[in-house]
Structures are given as structure tokens and as C-alpha cells.
Structure 1
Amino acid sequence: MIRVLIVDDHAVVRHGLKQILNDTGDLRVAGEAGDGVEAIQWLRRHGDDCHVVLLDISMPNKGGLDTLSQIHREFPRLPVLVLSMYPEDVIGLRTLKAGAAGYLTKQAAAEQLVEAIRQVASGHRYVSPALAEQLADSFVNGYQGAPHELLSDREYQTLCLIASGKTLSQIAEELKISIKTVSVYRARLLEKMKLKNNAELTRYAVSKGLVD
């Protein structure tokens, strides 16, 4: 029996996923968490009772990328399957580089989700055909990815939060860092992406589907 921890900030989504998994003969939901903080706390208590983490990447408090990195550090043998609203070309490669065992969009069919969980639970990676093509391009043709893929996790979070209309002080509070540090991340990401200001940053984020 493959036991899964579902991490998503929407109760309706968790309920739907739970139904899909519990209706499958070899899968069971071991636990649920509404954000990254709850997920880490649950794993520290019940990690031995979990075989796969099904993780949303867009969550309040501790974001999905931060949660993914921490799980990878504290539980390196525990596979994490990222389930996200974002298409593969937006953030798929980033999650794999951060330690995810697989990436799947929320538009995927239930059968695809079940197969992905089985695959990562058996020690393999799961990527969709679209993401596999990206990976092939990165190795064969020297594909460097979109500009936002060059950012660190913190820089990427800062990008998304600025594009969502958050002020530097609000970002500092959400990420639990100083305003000065947020300013440093902002300067770095603007330089890396060759953008001039927040308006250009926001237009880029919207055009790539990084924010609603």
C-alpha cells in the first residue's frame, strides 16, 4: 500500500484528491496539510508512515518551493510529486532541480495522477511528455530556459510576490526576512532578467502565467 501525504491550501482540492487516491486499490491518504509548515510538522511526527508527498507549489505561509527544498533536506529518500496549476514550461524544470521526483499539472487526468504516484513511489521520476521534451532540449540543444528559471528560489518568490502587488514590507513579512534582504533579491532578479523596474517585472510575470 502506497501512503500519501497531500499538501494543498484548498480543502476542496484535498478532498477531491483524497477521493481519487482512496478509490484506488494500492493507494491511501496517510495525512493532509494546508501549507508547508503543517507538512513539515506532520512529516517530523509521521514520516515513517508516508511513501510519497503530493505537494502544491503555490501556498501561503511557507511556499511550495521552500517546502520542497526542506523536505529534500530533512527526508532525502522521500519522493515528492509536485501538483500545480502552472503548466510545465513555467515551473516544471525548477521543481525538478529543487529535488522533486516528478511534476504534474492539476489539469491531468486522475489516471495520470495515480500512475505518477506509483512511479515516484517505486524510485523513478515522473515527467509529462511536454516536460520530457524540455529536458531533452536542455541537454541536446543547450537550452537555457526562460529568464525566470535562472533565479534562485527566493528570487523567484520575490518576483511572484512583487508581480502580485505586494510591497517590500509585505514580502518581508511573508517570507520572514528583512526588507533590506527583499531589496537585494529584487535587485538581483531585475539584473538577471534584464528588467528595469517593477512594471516590467509584473508584465513579464503575467505574460508567463506566473501570477493570476
Structure 2
Amino acid sequence: MAQNNNKVVNILLADDHHLVRDGIKSLIEKYSEFKVVGEGADGAEIIEILETTEEKIDLVLADINMPNMSGLELSEAISVQYPTVKVLILSMLDHEKYVSQALQSGAKGYLLKSVNEEELIFAIKQVMSNSFYVCSELTHQLLSKSLLGSGFKSKPSNGLKVDFSSREIEILELIAEGYTNLEIADKLFTSKRTIEGHRLQMIAKTGVRNTAALVKFCITNGVLHYV
């Protein structure tokens, strides 16, 4: 495929509902850094586009439930055939097994279709910066189930010690309560970009893969003291 020399993120949409694709496309293209360059009603159509397009595709935004080839099958195929193309799942399915299956298939993130515009755009940017992203609603849900089911550890299991600033602890507590970056920024009288930067820095400090793992790490290692 031809190289994309500008900074625009080229996106493919995979969803078997035409109106859904139209809505997502309309929303995404409000932002000049994103461009929807193709769409399909199932994974097979997306693979065909990847095989024939002259555009460099950066991201595929895919539903799970589609005929012929599901979003999970599509993600697996892309991870093998087009490893530089990132997949972000956008689904109505909110069970943790689908999140796990999506990440195992090679997807870089998982969003519920109930997310707002701000979180969708943030998720795309996170995935494009090589971070994993699970939407805040699912992060809080998965974290609560994981911690309530497995209990707490009094000492770090891996012996790691990470130093957090008081501001980072403050942000961590709000993340654990399920607040979005914008809501945290409003509460702390700062910018959303600053909060995003703190979140990414804490993920880098701990070496975890996503926000849910960050909060779990901090609770099990005594940085946070409540669920």
C-alpha cells in the first residue's frame, strides 16, 4: 500500500448497519486529523479494501457482530496480515469475555457504543499512540469484578516500587471512581490534555497495559486503599 506522508489518521469502518457507519463517520470527520477512507458491512469487505486500496490504513474501527466475518475474526486476520494496522472494537457487548477475546485477537482497544464523542476521539488517539484503551464504563466494571472476586494483596507481588506525586494519586482516585479525563480536568481545574498526560505517564511508570490494570496495580500495591 502507498505511504501516507501526512499526519491524518486513515480509518476504515466495519459495521453491518449503514446508519451506524454514517453516524460514526460524521462524528469522526469533524476532526481534521481523522479521515474515513472506506467502510464495509463485515470483516471480509474490510479485508478486501486492505488488499486493494492505495491508501495507507492506520486504524480499523469494527463492531463484533457482523455477518461473514466477525470483528474478532477481522482483528485476528489484520494482526497477522497487516500488523501495522490497529483495530479498535466498538460494540454493544459489555461482557468481560468479549473484552478479553478482543484483546487476545490483537485489537488495541474496546469501546461500548454508548461512549460519548469525547471518549471515542480520545480512544482513537490512545490506540494510535500505541496504548491499549478500554472505555471508562467497562474499566470500572471490570476492575470492580476483578478486585471483588480476587481480594487484595498486602504486598506487591512483583516487588516493584513506583513513586507517585500527590497530584497523580488524586487523579488515580478519580479514575478509580470511573470519571472521564474531562470530568477529572473539571474537578481539578486543569486541562483534559494535562490529565491525559498524567494517565499515560502513570501507565508508563508502572509498565501496565491499560487504565484498568493501572488502578488494579495501585490498589494491590497499596498506592490506593479502597475500591
> If the length of structure 1 is used for normalisation, what is the TM-score?
0.61
The one-character-per-residue Cα deviations of 1:110-149 (angstroms, maximum 9, x if unpaired) are: 1111111111112111112354457768998886xxxxxx
2:15 is the counterpart of 1:15 = no
- Could you tell me whether the CA contact under 8 Å between 2:108 and 2:131 is conserved in 1? yes
Aligned partners of 1:24 and 1:84: how far apart in 2?
22
Q: 1:134 to 1:85 in 2, by over 3 A?
A: closer
Partner of 2:38: 31
Relative to structure 1, the CA distance from residue 67 to residue 48 in structure 2 (aligned partners, 3 Å threshold; closer, same or farther) is same
Counterpart in 1 of 2:158?
none
Paired residue for 2:68? Answer: 61
What residue in structure 2 maps to residue 121 of structure 1?
Answer: 128
Alpha-carbon distance in 2 for matches of 1:54, 1:64: 9
**C-alpha separation in 2, matches of 1:83 and 1:47:** 25
For 1:76, the aligned partner's letter is: P
Aligned amino acid, residue 85 of structure 2: L
Checking the alignment, whether the CA contact within 8 Å between 2:10 and 2:34 is kept in structure 1 is: yes
Say what the alpha-carbon RMSD is for the aligned residues. 2.3
Deviations 1:143-167, CA, capped at 9 Å, x for gaps: 6xxxxxxxxxxxxxxxxxxxxxxxx
The 8 Å contact of residues 73 and 105 in structure 2, kept in 1 or not, is answered as no
Change (3 A) 1:126 1:64: same
CA positional deviation for 1:82? 0.3
**Which of the residues 53, 75, 79 maps onto 1:72?**
79
Deviates more, 1:10-19 or 1:91-100: 91-100
Structure 2 unaligned spans of 5+: 1-7, 151-227
Asked whether 1:101 is paired with 2:86, we answer no
CA contact (8 A) 2:119 2:135 kept: no
TM-score by length of 2: 0.57
1:112 partner amino acid: E
What is the DSSP-based 3-state SS (H/G/I as helix, E as strand, rest coil) of the residue aligned with 2:134?
Answer: coil
Task: Report the CA distance shift for 1:73/1:81 in structure 2 as closer, same or farther (over 3 A).
Answer: same
Greater Cα radius of gyration, structure 1 or 2: 2
Structure 1 range deviating more: 7-16 or 23-32: 23-32
Query: Alpha carbons of 1:108 and 1:133: their partners in 2 closer, same or farther (altered >3 Å)?
Result: closer
TM-superposed deviation, 1:48: 4.7
Match of 1:87 in 2: 94
More helix by percentage? 1
Identity %: 36
CA distance in 1, matches of 2:100, 2:54: 26
Q: SS of the counterpart of 1:83?
A: strand
Q: Distance in 2 between matches of 1:28 and 1:5?
A: 9
| Cα distance in 2, alignment partners of residues 63 and 100 from structure 1 | 13
Q: Check conservation: 2:9, 2:59, Cα contact below 8 A.
A: yes
Contact 1:88 1:105 in 2 (8 A): no
Counterparts in 2 of 1:11 and 1:50: CA distance versus 1, 3 Å: same
Question: Contact between 1:55 and 1:83, CA under 8 Å: does it hold in 2?
Answer: yes
CA contact (8 A) 2:93 2:112 kept: yes
Residue 36 of structure 1: how far off its partner (Å): 0.8
The number of residue pairs the alignment matches comes to 143
Which residue identity is paired with 1:121?
M
Q: CA deviation at 1:88?
A: 4.8
Distance in 2, matches of 1:99 and 1:135, equals: 19
